[in-house]
Chain A
Amino acid sequence: MSTLLETRKLTKRFGGIIAVKEVDFKVEKGVIKGLIGPNGSGKTTLINCITGVHRPDEGRVFFESRDITGLPPHRAAKIGVARTWQIVRPFKKMTVLEAVMTSALIRVKDLSVARSEAVDVLKLLGFTEELMNRRGSDITLVQHKLVDLARAIVLKPKLLFIDEIAAGLRPVEVEGLIDLLRRVHRELDITIVVVEHLMTFIMKLSDEIAVMHEGQLIAEGSPEEVAKNPRVVEVYLGMRV
């Protein structure tokens, strides 16, 4: 296995607060990696620094051994780093299909090719034709999350960050989502980093897990190892697991 993404001593401050502190985060090609931690532990900030939303104050980001520190988000997306959003960012006045097509048009020039690729991805995620032609303002939150995911997948990224997609879903929907993400991972050959604080979801889905706390990585390993790690237990005891 080769390393797809690596951060070296990545640090991000907001005013006096250190949101991410000297984080060395590694993702091997072909895995599903979980990133967990309590609220405000710096998970989303870490993703923002990697995908170019924030410019890190210190440290570097390497993707496929190439230094991509400070690359703007659209460049990161084009070289294969995609993401979804913790709080959905819908295109309300476009139809679901148009929103996903926009994303497809980054890779393909032709509108009809983009349309068929967007339809394929949306079908994979369980969208019916009727649903695809609804406007962003007329679908549910869960559907928004899936559109967000579809917009990222249709880019055919090498690495996909999924930020808190399971929050607010019912247990049945979570089960379905786990199967879905496994299929995306397997069929489209996308390395995935899942950020979540829903433990059951991430334990089932991930090959390996990294734990963040107060801006730092405090543990890394297989789900079993991490679950037994005393530091992790200590951090999570304060939370409703």
Chain B
Amino acid sequence: MLRSLRRRGLYLRLIGLIVLLAAMYIAFMTNKYYLLFITNLVFFAAIVLAWNIIGGYAGQLDLGTTGYMGVGAIVSSILSNNIGLHPLISIILGGLSSALLAGAIGFPMFRFGVREVWYALSTAAIVVILNNAVRLLIGPYEYYLRVRPIKTYDELYLATSIALVLVFLLNHAVNNSRLGYYLKAIREDELAAEAIGVDTRRYKLLALMIYAFIVGSLGYLYVVMIGYFYTYRFFDTGISVSIAILGIIGGLGSIEGCLVSAFLLRGVGEYLRTSLAHIIPGLHLLLYGAVLITLGVVEPEGIPGIARRFTTLLKTTKRPMGVVK
């Protein structure tokens, strides 16, 4: 990871991300409402980047995000709130329990070759089961967080930004490692990957568990952000689907593409949702739907595909006329 850090391109991107996060803070620090708004954007950008590992690199359409996030959130909140463990340790244990759950689900799933639409549906079904099972177990109440390690909105923004930077670095580390190459090969053609020696089951499971660990650990931040550690919002297939949508539009496996779709598209979407909800509810989802259909027809590779078209367009227009053989 350190070696890949030394690559100049990555330095620039990292600095760019930090500058962006700082600029957003400076622009909105005076208004609590907008500060929480951008914290939410940064948080979900981290979630989309985590999804990128299983969905973007490994190409598995996972719709279980809010399930893993919810399990991590509940475990870490109970550990820090009711048992009194240090929040950081609770976060790690919450992430680990998510990863374990993912392992327990992923092992049979990959063993029996569940893929494509069936993988997507299984993971969505698991979220529904978790949702109902948790409601049966602890009731439909919302539990408030009593112990609050993060006191102000500014601290919360800082913590969320650090989380995003960490997930960003982890994505780059995966991208420039054997694991990344193996996962991309699995995404492109599982049987061909297997035939060149990639243990496809093992690496899919590893990707799933890494993703579940990140999402599970981030669950605690979400709890701090919204204030309670259990709510129907934790196991929501709709949110899971919208995470996957942002990852797909971001161009599977493209870190910058995911950031653009998470900030820009989700930013516009959330703005529409919060400001126009009373006039036209669901406008942000109409926007996602329209973008999905347009991209699906015009540019299935999403944002990086558009960027590539744009650069080739620039190159071809720069070329002087009349020298084409």
Contact = CB atoms under 8 A, between A and B. Distances in A.
Judged by CB atoms under 8 Å, the answer to whether A and B touch is: yes
B181 A89 contact: no
Contacts of A151: 192, 196
Interface stretch (B140-148, B151-159, B183-191): B183-191
A111 interface: yes
B6 interface: no
Interface stretch (B117-125, B127-135, B197-205): B197-205
Nearest to B253: A93
Given A91-B188, A93-B184, A74 B200 contact: yes
B181 A102 contact: yes
Interface string A96-113: 001101110110010100
A51 B195 contact: yes
Contacts of B294: none
B116 interface: no
Interface in B163-207: 176-178, 181-182, 184-185, 187-189, 191-200
Main secondary structure of the interface of B (DSSP, over half): helix
Interface string A43-85: 0000000010100000000000000000011100110001101
A91 to B, nearest CB: 4
Contacts of B181: 98, 101-102, 105
Interface in B183-234: 184-185, 187-189, 191-200
A102 B191 contact: no
Contacts of B176: 111
Nearest to A88: B192
Given A93-B184, A94-B184, 15 more contacts: A74-B195, A77-B194, A77-B196, A78-B197, A82-B195, A89-B189, A90-B189, A91-B184, A94-B185, A94-B188, A103-B196, A103-B197, A105-B178, A105-B181, A106-B196
6 contacts: A73-B191, A74-B200, A89-B192, A92-B188, A93-B188, A98-B181
